[in-house]
């Protein structure tokens, strides 16, 4: 049986002795002490250890989100931008739901609501995946009596309804004319302080992401080998320490090394970041130029796609291209690969043996 004692401080100490187990916790409110005692006795009857008082106070899904964030911060893995945004959305929409009320139907209704708000199949799939992660974390790490099974059932239902699935893969590549129009727009804009033409060419030359371009430093540059170290590249399995060295060459039609050299001359020094600009400002300038010269449906990230495709068109194999793009999964690399059919002529000619080779063979 549980015994509750009021302490001189005004708090309440609850103690349970049941089936040879002993546990005690202290609460500011008597109701919280009674609630914990009932839960603790139930868990002992089930052969489980009583929850800590901090866990027993968890009432809503928002509490579980906060618990997950706190735990991840304690181990040095705080949520990054995309995950933090998802958690914020989930707390806004589901944070007030009682943990026991978050059943299959409630999650299906949530999925339908998000779809009506404009969330695509991939975004909704991420939402449901994070919900399961939070619930599983609470059950596995803190022993909370909650099952992720309703989340699995809701995911299956939302898939059947067509609300969860793979997104439409982009295959947008800029034409030479579109790139030249953008370059002229950048160069003719006297108010533009960003070297946008150089940045865009560098993006195609290296297949780097915009945030990577605006983050690399001169100390990351190996002048002797013409290599660039990209630190903490994006990787769903490893958020930090995923460093990669890439070559700065002219395989894509733009000379990455020449662009870096030009950037050093423009800055007048080689300190700090190579491209010391705000990535959001670069993205805004790119979008404005696209509107101004009527280049439709082109994103800055498509330049990474373009650079990757040009590497394949230059004759590099998948494993070689991955050394530039940083893809660990070659299946993911294929979605960036949209080779223009006309380039096959050049690849065929490059593989055709020359007359001198035939003579040597004889």
pLDDT tens-digit readout, 99-120: 888 999 999 999 999 999 988 8
The answer on pLDDT for 54 being more than 70 is no
pLDDT tens-digit readout, 204-237: 999 999 999 999 999 999 999 999 999 988 765 5
Which pLDDT belongs to residue 241?
A: 64
Cβ–Cβ < 8 Å for 343, 306? no
The answer on pLDDT for 359 being more than 50 is no
CA-CA-CA-CA dihedral for 187, 192, 197, 200, to nearest 10: -150
Residue 324: exposure state from Cβ atoms within 10 A (0-12, 13-18, ≥19): buried
* Gyration radius (Cα) of the chain, Å: 28
Whole-angstrom distance, CA of residue 171 vs CA of residue 241: 30
- What are the tokens at 194? 């960003």
Closest CA to 199 of 304, 356, 77, 330: 304
pLDDT tens-digit readout, 125-174: 999 999 999 999 888 877 777 889 999 999 999 999 999 987 666 778 99
- What are the tokens at 351? 């593989």
Contacts of 39 (CB under 8 A, 6+ apart): 50, 51, 56
**Which of 35 and 167 is assigned the larger pLDDT?**
35
pLDDT tens-digit readout, 296-320: 999 999 999 899 999 988 888 888 9
Closest CA to 347 of 311, 300, 296: 311
pLDDT tens-digit readout, 318-352: 889 988 988 777 666 766 555 566 655 565 566 66
């Amino acid at each position: 049986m549980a015994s509750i004692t009021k302490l001189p401080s005004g708090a309440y100490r609850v103690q349970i002795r049941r089936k040879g187990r002993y546990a005690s916790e202290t609460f500011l409110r008597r109701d919280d002490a009674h609630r914990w005692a009932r839960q603790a006795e139930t868990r002992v009857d089930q052969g489980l250890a009583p929850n800590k008082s901090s866990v027993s106070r968890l009432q809503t899904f928002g509490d579980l989100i906060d618990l997950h964030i706190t735990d991840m911060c304690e181990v040095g893995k705080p949520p990054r931008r995309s995950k933090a945004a998802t958690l914020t959305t989930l707390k806004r929409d589901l944070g007030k739901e009682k943990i026991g009320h978050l059943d299959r139907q409630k999650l299906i209704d949530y999925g339908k609501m998000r779809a009506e708000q404009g969330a695509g199949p991939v975004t909704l799939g991420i939402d449901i995946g994070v919900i399961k992660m939070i619930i599983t974390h609470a059950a596995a790490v803190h022993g909370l009596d909650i099952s992720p099974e309703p989340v699995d059932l809701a995911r299956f239902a939302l898939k059947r309804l067509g609300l969860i699935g793979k997104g439409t893969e982009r295959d947008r590549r800029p034409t030479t004319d579109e790139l030249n129009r953008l370059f002229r727009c950048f160069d003719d804009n006297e108010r533009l302080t960003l070297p946008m033409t150089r940045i865009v060419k560098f993006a195609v030359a290296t297949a780097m992401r915009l945030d990577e371009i605006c983050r690399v430093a001169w100390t990351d540059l190996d002048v002797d080998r013409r290599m660039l170290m990209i630190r903490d590249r994006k990787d769903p399995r490893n958020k930090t320490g995923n460093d990669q060295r890439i070559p700065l060459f002219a395989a894509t039609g733009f000379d990455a090394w020449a662009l870096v050299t030009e950037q050093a001359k423009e800055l007048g020094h080689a300190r700090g970041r190579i491209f010391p600009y705000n990535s959001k400002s670069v993205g805004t300038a790119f979008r404005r130029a696209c509107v101004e010269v009527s280049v439709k449906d082109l994103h800055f990230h498509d330049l990474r796609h373009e650079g990757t495709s040009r590497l394949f068109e230059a004759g590099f194999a998948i494993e070689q291209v991955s050394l530039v793009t940083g893809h660990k999964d070659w299946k993911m690399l294929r979605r960036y690969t949209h080779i223009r059919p006309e380039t096959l002529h050049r690849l065929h000619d490059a593989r055709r043996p020359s007359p001198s080779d035939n003579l040597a063979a004889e």
